[in-house]
A and B are shown apart, each in its own frame.
Chain A
């Protein structure tokens, strides 16, 4: 299933661990600051929430203010997967493949109540929340969510990215 990056512990050669930790923390802050303002979203748009996605992307609300305005239509170039709309069981393999094709680091936003929990599609056809298939970083419920809610979600995700560790080397690297 989904692999989480594992850090290879780098130990300093001599006993200067405090200074080394200070440097790696500063490095994480710097990389986090850079990454949180260059989110390249991949809109996985399946349903009516797309209208709200267009509204939040365009001028009056403008996600470009948060550095998250340039949609990449290839998962290879994206680092934020926005799942916008209902995901059915028939579509689930496609969503999973798109997620697997994205390069690290990657984050996932569940946009709208259907992607969050299945919403009112409590039936055999809809996936009851995309977190049953792929890990989700931020949930934006609402049917559809107001643009303010989406912007709030993006800002919460930015806070999360800024607080994250950003290892240069992972086990997968």
Chain B
């Protein structure tokens, strides 16, 4: 385990954070209200300067339904960290990270396309992989995978 993870674990304490080590990777579970300040801490004090990805998990029968997952990488410590934060189906919104990482803009757009997660503070949540007029979010578990929404009328 990289040297930076020990001090990081000391900073992220219960009850706000639930820190585990899964397959050699530090996994931090936290509430969405704590997200922005935690990421700011990771970036400024622990040099996690590369934002790798944001995606979501749809745990359909469970509540809260969604989990938003973030990955960060430190190019000075060569180590990754994963943040997981639960959001409800009624209000699937988290804070946007565009103020900290510019690259978060496009990744949050994709996550918004596919799962319908709202990102407060992202100035541009237009579809990036889908097209204008697409109804629904195709990677949600309750979206029928064969539900086509063609743009060109079919022949005959």
Contact = CB atoms under 8 A, between A and B. Distances in A.
Chain B: interface secondary structure? loop
Interface of A: 1-2, 89-90, 92-93, 96, 122-125, 127-128, 131-135
A93 to B, nearest CB: 5
B145 A123 contact: yes
Contacts of A1: 153, 155
B152 A92 contact: yes
Main secondary structure on chain A at its contact with chain B? loop
B33 interface: no
Q: Which size bracket describes the interface of B in this complex?
A: 10 to 19
15 contacts: A89-B148, A89-B151, A90-B151, A92-B151, A92-B152, A122-B146, A123-B138, A124-B138, A124-B146, A124-B147, A128-B148, A131-B155, A132-B154, A133-B155, A134-B155
Given A133-B154, A133-B155, 4 more contacts: A89-B148, A89-B149, A90-B151, A93-B152
Contact of A124 (B148, B151, B152, B153): B148
B152 A125 contact: no
A142 to B, nearest CB: 24
B6 interface: no
Interface string B49-61: 0000000000000
B25 interface: no
A135 B153 CA distance: 13
A123 to B, nearest CB: 5
A133 B152 contact: yes
B150 A125 contact: no
A132 B152 CA distance: 9
